[in-house]
Structure 1
Amino acid sequence: MPFTSLRLIRSLEVYPAVDPAVLEQARAVVVLGGGISHDQPEYAADVSSRATLERLRYAAFLYNQHDLPILVTGGNPSGGEAEGWVMKRELESLFNVPVRWLETQSDNTAENAEFSRAILQADGVDTIALVTHAWHMPRAKRVFEQAGFTVVPAPTGFHTVDMKGIMNFIRNAPACTVLTARAQQSIHN
């Protein structure tokens, strides 16, 4: 049911939109990959999934508002081109935003943190604005802090729209799909 699905997913969205004053503490934006769509015929290439595009759009917004350098992170756990390469290409070509650092070896959030730490530590970057979906932020923040970062949560993709009336209590596939996809990603990462 949409009512249940929405309440459960919102229970994970504990970090609010980032406060620009707090964002000033960050020295870089780290964008986590959220999947890619392989071999899309209209592009003749791998492209970012909807989730990754939401994250890239927000990273571009942060770059344009605060001029923070960007690291994209994502390997190729499902084969094909690494998410990091796809993300870099799309940030630069679609959003006209430069990517300073690229991480392409990770297969999960813990590896995103570990490998990003090695890259950024070399440039003396310890405090980051972490971009991922609001529901994913609690776990991602914890993992990046365990890797040694000071994390300014910069969540995106909040679930803000309520369904109205009786439709809120009738089972439907989209409500189940949201929860299933989030649960599977949490298990695998």
Structure 2
Amino acid sequence: MGTVFFVLSKIVGLLLLVESWLLLGLLFSLAMLFAGAVVPARWGLTITLLILVLVLSPLTDMALAKLETTYPTNPDLTKGKPIDGILVLGGSIVTGHSETWKQPELNHAGERITEAARLARLLPDIPIFISGGNASPLDVVLGNRGASEAEMTRDLLVGMGVEASRIQIETKSRNTAENATFSARLVGDDISKHWLLITSAFHMARSMRSFERAGWTDLMPYPVDHRTNLSSKPFSWYPGGKIERADLLIKELVGLVVYGWTGR
């Protein structure tokens, strides 16, 4: 059942991409034009243009910034209970590229790893738990077994000076819900300890909900990888990266709804 949900989520995710909407809108409009149906073609082009304008407007970054500020950035680790462990979610290593080029290839979420390395030095001796399998739908369907994100992240952290003995990994999860449940099984009774959860700011709300539903009771969110700039960019019409940020926003909002419905 988990594999079916994973594959379906990837298919739906592809359909939810803004690029898919724009392409389908253009194809529909062109098909109507060639068929001589001018009115539907006009409507198709109008709706496609409106979608593009909406995505490129300040609303995209304003909404994403709202999601990214669900939890405070740089929480004070010196107040309250001491941190018992650092929990790092996958999503920052491109596994296929890394295996091809024989070196770690990071995406925009690389701060999940770099901040984990910094905190590991700031908080010596506490354990580090990395969760992340292979999230490629094709590999999952074909049963291909390459290196997991958790394995690659562990090796990278060790190369950055973190002691291997501090690191535990979970290599089977393919999405946030599985990050939470599979990690809980491996952590065991330590699930009730005071863990620091590191993931991207836009992803933190869904992550916290999933981990709490999986039984984690004392997590401190530590958001990284912010995609918006509250000083100016959320209110800008500058188009660079807007479609990508809109895709992230849609994915997270839909994910929050679906995870809520399915209890994940």
Looking at structure 1, the residues matched to 232 and 57 of structure 2 have their Cα atoms a distance apart, in angstroms, of 7
1:23–1:152: 8 Å Cα contact kept in structure 2? Answer: no
Structure number having the greater strand percentage? 1
Q: What code does the residue aligned with 1:39 have?
A: H
| C-alpha displacement of 1:43 | 3.3
SS of corresponding position for 1:135: helix
Structure 2 equivalent of residue 137 of structure 1: 204
Q: Does 1:121 align with 2:176?
A: no
**Aligned positions of 1:53-72 closer than 5 A:** 53-67=110-124, 68-72=126-130
User: Would you say 1:39 and 2:97 are equivalent positions?
Assistant: yes
For 1:56 and 1:108, the matched residues in 2 are separated by 18
How far apart are 1:127 and its partner, in Å?
A: 2.4
Q: What amino acid maps onto 1:71 in structure 2? A: F
Q: How far 1:39 moved relative to its partner?
A: 3.0
Q: Are the equivalent residues in 2 in contact too, given 1:48–1:87 (CA < 8 A)?
A: no
Amino acid across the alignment from 1:151: L
Residue in structure 2 matched with residue 91 of structure 1 by the alignment = 157
Q: 1:10 aligns to what?
A: 65
The CA distance in 2 between the partners of 1:175 and 1:92, in whole Å, is 35
Please provide the CA RMSD for this pair: 2.7
Count the aligned residue pairs: 184
Distance 1:116 1:40, change over 3 A: closer
Could you tell me how far apart the structure 2 residues matched to 1:59 and 1:69 are? 11
Contact 2:104 2:156 in 1 (8 A): no
For 2:195 and 2:222, the matched residues in 1 are separated by 9
* Secondary structure class of the residue paired with 1:12: helix
Query: What is the TM-score when the length of structure 2 is the normalising length?
Result: 0.61
CA distance in 2: counterparts of 1:160 and 1:116, whole angstroms? 32
3-state SS of the aligned residue for 1:89?
helix
Give the structure with the higher percent helix.
2
- The two structures have a TM-score, normalised by structure 1, of 0.83
Q: Is the 8 A contact 1:28 1:125 kept in 2?
A: no
Work out whether residues 134 and 155 of structure 1, in 8 Å CA contact, stay in contact via their aligned partners in 2: yes
SS in 1 for 2:64: helix
The 8 Å contact of residues 28 and 69 in structure 1, kept in 2 or not, is answered as yes
Return 5+ residue gaps in structure 2 as ranges.
1-55, 140-145, 260-264
Is the 8 Å Cα contact of residues 29 and 70 (structure 1) preserved in structure 2?
yes
Secondary structure of 2:222's partner?
strand
Displacement of 1:46: 5.8
Query: Structure 1 24/156 Cα, relative in aligned 2: closer, same or farther at 3 Å?
Result: farther
Native 8 Å contact 1:23 1:129 kept in 2: no
Please report how far the alpha carbon of residue 90 of structure 1 lies from its aligned counterpart in structure 2 after TM superposition: 1.1
Aligned equivalent of 1:102, options 169, 190, 197: 169
Name which one, 1 or 2, has greater alpha-carbon Rg. 2
Amino acid at match of 1:96: G
